[in-house]
Amino acid sequence: MEQLLAQIEQLKKEIAESAVTDAPSLEAFRIRFLGTKGIVKNLMGEMKNVANEKKREFGQIMNEFKQFAESHFEQWKEQLEAGSAAAGPSIDNTLPGDNLPLGSRHPISLMRNHIISIFQRLGFAVAEGPEIEDDFHNFTALNLPEHHPARDMQDTFYIQQNPDWLLRTHTSNIQIREMEKGELPLRIICPGRVYRNETISARSHCFFHQVEGLYIDENVSFADLKQTLYYFVQEMYGKDVKVRFRPSYFPFTEPSAEMDISCQICGGSGCAICKKTGWLEILGCGMVHPNVLQNCGIDPNKYTGFAFGMGIERPALLKYGITDIRLFSENDVRFLRQFTAAT
C-alpha cells in the first residue's frame, strides 16, 4: 500500500508538471492515463492486493487520482479547442502560394484542335468512334471486302478474344457509324487515333492520328469538296498556299484524289522535305462511293457526298519543325513543355 501511494504521488506530480499543447500529446496522455489499459485502470486493479482495512482509504485516493487526471485532461482539451478557434486555420495567408506546375497541350492536340476549329466554322460537327472496331466498320462497309488487295496496306492488330475485332486502321470507321444513324444531311469532322502494323522509325509508328471529314446531302459535288478543302488550307497555311489534286484510288471513294499543298518549307522551289518536288501531300479525298452509301442504308440516287482523311502527325512535324515522330509518344516533359506558349 505504501508503495502504491508513493507511486500515485509521483504520477500526480508528473501530471501537474506536464504541459500538453497539441492534439497528439493530449491523445497520448488520454491513452496512457485514462485508456482501457491505462495507468488509472491498472492501479484500480491493485485493489485486490490491498489489505481489507485499507481498501476504503485506497479507493478514495484512487478516485481522487482519477479525477485529478481527468480534470487535467479536460482543461488541456478546452485550452486546445479555444486556442485553435482563436488562431483560425493554421495557414499564413500572407505567404506567397506554391506555384502549381501548369500542363500544356500536346502538339498533336494543338494541331487537331486547330483543324477542327477551321471546319467548325464551315458548320462541321465533331463525331468520334471506337478505336477497337469490327471488321465491317473498318473495312467491309467501306467497300473493302475480305481479300480485297487494298487491305494489305492497312495491316493492323487483332484482338485475340474475337477474330472479328481489330484496332481501327483509319478514322473512316466513324463515317460508317454516323451514316448508319440515318440522320441526313450529315456534315462531320472526326478526329481520332488509328493503328497500323508497321515498323517503328522516325517517320512511321504503329499508331498515329487522323482527322476524317464527311459531308452527305443532296447535290453535293466535287466542286464542294475542292472549295471546302481550299478554304481549309488557306486558313491553315495562309492565303498564298497553292493546292493541286492528283487522281488516286481509295475503295470508298469514286473518283478519288490526293491533295498536295505547295511546300511550306521551301515555298515550292524544292527541298529535302518535299523531296525536291515543291509539293507536300496532305490528304486523301473523293466522292463517297455509292456502295458505301448503300452499305449504310442511304439511297445513292438521292444523296451524294464527299469525304477526306488526313494525318495529324505530318502537319504537326512541319509546323513545329520536329524531326522524329516518336517524340510525340515518348512523354518526355522536356519535349512537351516547349508547346506551352502555343496554347
Binding site for ligand DAH (CB under 6 A): 170, 172, 212, 250, 253, 284-286, 307-309
Q: Under a CB-based contact definition with an 8 Å cutoff, are residues 259 and 281 in contact?
A: yes
Closer by beta carbon to ligand DAH, 232 or else 250: 250
Q: Output the smallest distance, CB 229 to ligand DAH, in A.
A: 11
Cα–Cα distances (Å) from 18 to 15, 28, 86, 276, in that order, read 5, 12, 23, 87
Rounded to 5°, angle at Cα 131 from 109 and 191? 35
Closer by beta carbon to ligand DAH, 129 or else 284: 284
Q: Under a CB-based contact definition with an 8 Å cutoff, are residues 336 and 106 in contact?
A: yes
Closer by beta carbon to ligand DAH, 156 or else 172: 172
Single out the residue of 36, 307, 79, 311 nearest to residue 186, CA to CA.
307
CA distance 156 to 72: 75
DSSP calls for 115-159? HHHHHHHTTPEE----SEEEHHHHTGGGT--TT-GGGGGG---B-
Q: Output the smallest distance, CB 111 to ligand DAH, in A.
A: 17
Closer by beta carbon to ligand DAH, 237 or else 250: 250
Q: Output the smallest distance, CB 323 to ligand DAH, in A.
A: 23
Type of residue at 234: Q
CA distance 237 to 319: 9
Q: Output the smallest distance, CB 216 to ligand DAH, in A.
A: 12
Q: Output the smallest distance, CB 311 to ligand DAH, in A.
A: 8
Q: Which residue is nearest to ligand DAH (CB)?
A: 309
Grid cell 482523311 — which residue? Answer: 309
Closer by beta carbon to ligand DAH, 20 or else 144: 144
Q: Under a CB-based contact definition with an 8 Å cutoff, are residues 308 and 229 in contact?
A: yes
Q: Output the smallest distance, CB 188 to ligand DAH, in A.
A: 11
φ/ψ (deg, to 5) at 176: -60, -50
Q: Output the smallest distance, CB 199 to ligand DAH, in A.
A: 18
Grid cell 508538471 — which residue? Answer: 17
Closer by beta carbon to ligand DAH, 62 or else 214: 214
Closer by beta carbon to ligand DAH, 210 or else 264: 210
Single out the residue of 328, 315, 319 nearest to residue 105, CA to CA.
328
